[in-house]
Amino acid sequence: VSQRTLVLIKPDAVRRGLVGEILARLERKGLRIEEMRLRTMDADLADAHYADHVEKPFYPPLKEFMLSGPLVSLIVSGDESIPVIRALAGATDGRAAAPGTIRGDLSLSNRENLIHASDSEESAEREIKLWFG
Ligand code: CMP
């Protein structure tokens, strides 16, 4: 079944010049870019996007990082795109993520992990509304 999901190419990826590399991996997989926008998050959007995490101890530095520069927001579609992109991204912690994944190949951090992708159909719907209205 085709799914639509929200992807963020995070500020660390923009700073490191990895936007093209990450987009290329999504495109080569056969996924389709439906919408794409470069923007800097603000505090309200961060709190809404990470509503499940705002109370966690890692949230303040995560928020500071996510606001630290421009990121690329995307709507991506394709067959089973939600689990497919999460598999391409790899485990949250770049140090533990498997080689061959975006984080496993390109990140050495639990926070600066290059990419966010919605984790379920419900969160994809919520996050697409939040980012693209
Ligand atoms: P993301 O998929 O955007 O969802 C929540 C984000 O919080 C995650 O990617 C990481 O960037 C960050 N994160 C999750 N767990 C931790 C942690 N234990 N320490 C620091 N950052 C974390």
Q: What is the ipTM of this complex?
A: 0.93
- At 99 the pLDDT is 98
Token pair of 14, please?
């923009």
- Alpha-helix residue ranges (DSSP H) falling in 1-133: 11-16, 19-29, 43-49, 59-66, 81-89, 102-106, 121-132
User: What separation in Å is there between the alpha carbon of 34 and the centre of ligand 1?
Assistant: 25
Distance 113 CA to ligand 1 centre (A): 8
- Nearest Cα neighbor of 20 from 2, 46, 38, 41 is 38
What domains appear along the chain, each with residue ranges and CATH number? 2-132 (3.30.70.141)
Protein residue with least CA distance to atom 1, ligand 1 = 116
pLDDT less than 50: residues of the chain: none
Q: What pLDDT digit, counting tens, does each position of 92-115 carry?
A: 999 999 999 999 999 999 999 999
Q: Does the annotation list 113 as a binding residue?
A: yes
* Residues with a known catalytic role: 116
